[in-house]
């Protein structure tokens, strides 16, 4: 299990650029089929821009089932968890609609 601690990669989790840094790191391990723990330790909140760039863009490289099976979100809070789940749900609905 690889641990990616977001706070070690970016001091804030607010915009697309912040998210992209995390995205690159997750994708690198996803491509190798390695289980990943993404830790939000020390992060209290985030935005849809960050979540879209860090997580939702992964859907362009692998399917949701693989993400669910390999990526574990830890040391988070209910707000961040809900936001991540909402963004995935919306992205899947948008894919179905198109």
Partner 1 sequence: MSTIKLEGSLDVSSIHRFVNQFIDDERSPRSNEFFVDMCSVKFVTPVGVTSLVNLLTYLGKSGCIIIVQYPDRPTEPVKYLDDCGFFSHFAGKPLRPHAKCRSTTIPLKIVGYAEYDSWLEYSVFPWLSSHLGFDIKREWPSFYAVIGEIFNNINDHAGLDDCIASTIMQYFPKKNEIEIAISDYGIGIPARVRKVLPQLHTDGAAIIKATEDNFSTKSTPRNRGAGLHTIIQNTVEINGGNVTIISGYGAVEFNQIWLKGSPLGSAGGIRYPGTLLRLVLRTDTIQREEFYEEDMSW
- Taking the C-alpha atoms of residue 31 and residue 44, their distance in angstroms, rounded to an integer, is 29
Q: Which stretch binds partner 1 (CB under 8 A): 1-9, 25-33, 46-54?
A: 46-54
- Residue 47 found at the interface with partner 1 (CB under 8 A): yes
- How many residues touch partner 1 under the rule CB under 8 A: the total is 37
Question: Is residue 73 classed as helix, strand or coil in its secondary structure?
Answer: strand
- Residue 46 found at the interface with partner 1 (CB under 8 A): yes
3-state secondary structure 25-53: HHHHHHCCCCCEEEECCCCCCCCHHHHHH
- Residue 8 found at the interface with partner 1 (CB under 8 A): no
- Taking the C-alpha atoms of residue 96 and residue 26, their distance in angstroms, rounded to an integer, is 25
Contacts with partner 1 by CB under 8 A lie at 12, 14-16, 19-20, 40-41, 44-49, 52-53, 56-57, 68, 72-81, 83-85, 87, 90-91, 93-94
């Amino acid at each position: 299990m690889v641990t990616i601690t977001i706070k070690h990669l970016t001091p804030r989790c607010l915009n697309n650029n912040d998210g992209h840094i995390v995205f690159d790191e997750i994708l690198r391990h996803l491509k190798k089929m390695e289980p990943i723990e993404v830790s939000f330790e020390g992060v209290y909140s985030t935005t849809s821009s960050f979540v879209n760039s860090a997580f939702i863009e992964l859907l362009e490289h692998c399917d949701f089932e693989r993400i669910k099976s390999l990526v574990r979100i830890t040391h988070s809070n209910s707000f961040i968890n809900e936001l991540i789940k909402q963004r995935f749900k919306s992205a899947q609905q948008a894919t179905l609609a198109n």
